[in-house]
């Protein structure tokens, strides 16, 4: 039987931009994506630590080294610039999965990898 397991987590990212009139997505720095094991167009769950909002969207690749975390489309209404978010991707598996976890500081610099 397959179960859904946490595969990847970007913990405490800071929202750096938002654009309402854009095809919906979350844009992430390519380096952060790679470290967390998240792919472009992969579905993610985003949790806003500041206001409790939770929403699903997909990832688009941002500029490597930009440290950008941008919310686009309808998701732009669910957070403000400066809010801290947790971004999670999941996998179907028949056995438990050890997730890749990337912890960021307020400047979206990687401070820890698990």
SS3 (DSSP) at 39: coil
Q: How many C-beta atoms surround the C-beta of residue 33 within 10 A?
A: 24
CB 56 within 8 A of CB 36: no
Any idea which residues carry the catalytic annotation?
25, 58
Q: How far apart are CA 48 and CA 37, in angstroms?
A: 21
Q: How many C-beta atoms surround the C-beta of residue 10 within 10 A?
A: 29
């Amino acid at each position: 039987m397959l179960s859904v397991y946490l595969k990847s987590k970007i913990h405490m990212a800071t929202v750096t931009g938002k654009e309402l009139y854009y095809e919906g997505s979350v844009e992430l720095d390519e380096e952060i994506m790679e470290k967390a094991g998240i792919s472009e167009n992969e579905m993610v769950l985003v949790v806003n630590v500041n206001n409790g909002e939770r929403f699903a969207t997909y990832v688009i690749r941002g500029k490597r080294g930009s440290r950008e975390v941008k919310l686009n489309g309808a998701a732009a209404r669910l957070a403000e610039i400066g809010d801290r978010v947790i971004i999670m991707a999941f996998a179907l598996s028949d056995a438990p999965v050890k997730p890749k976890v990337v912890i960021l500081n307020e400047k979206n610099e990687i401070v820890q990898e698990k």
